[in-house]
Amino acid sequence: MDLRQLVRDVPDFPKPGILFRDLTPLMRNPEGWQEVIRQLSALCDRLQPHLIVGIESRGFIVGTALATAVRLGFVPVRKPGKLPGAVTGIDYALEYGTDRLEIGSDALSGGPRVLVIDDLLATGGTAAACAQLVHAAGGSLCGFGFVAELAALEGRRRLPEEQPVESLIIYP
């Protein structure tokens, strides 16, 4: 199945000059969505994670579906102030400014193998920050999985070299 055919291109969104890759038609298509989860499940079979970590917010959609399919737990990585209790956080640089990601301080206790999941790999800044956050929270990163990747933005270069990165759809 060609998953790319189920992704809608939206020109000039969210601002002029940007071509947005809208994954919601793919998610709406039962066969397409099942294929996404099947392919990411195969990644889990290879990497053997103990937990799936999803990055806010669309990584929650992909990550929880995957975690359910492979019978693993799911851990959210959120923007500041969204998680109750003690958190571990990391600040990271954006093109213009900084942002922060947080995870529950006890979410990765015991050093579990963690697969980071998100919908899209673009510049790689958020995924790279998530990798650092997984280590800071006590987890052992075993790889990354994305539904789509914008290869021209070279996001893979920002991710740890030793970690496998799998994207189901790669746009040049």
* Helices 30-47 + 58-70 axis angle, to 10: 70
Residue 95 among the catalytic residues: yes
Is 78 in a helix, a strand, or coil? strand
Is 159 in a helix, a strand, or coil? coil
Token pair recorded at residue 101: 């990601």
**Which residues pair with residue 159 across a beta bridge?**
none
Burial environment of residue 9 by CB neighbours within 10 A (0 to 12, 13 to 18, 19 or more): exposed
Residue 157 among the catalytic residues: no
Query: Catalytic pick from 31, 95, 161, 162?
Result: 95
Query: Catalytic pick from 35, 56, 58, 158?
Result: 58
Any idea what the Cα angle at residue 26 is, between residues 23 and 29, rounded to 5°?
155
Token pair recorded at residue 92: 């990271």
> Are β-strands 97-104 and 87-94 bridged in parallel, bridged antiparallel, or unpaired?
antiparallel
Residue 44: CB atoms within 10 Å? 21
Active-site positions read: 58, 95
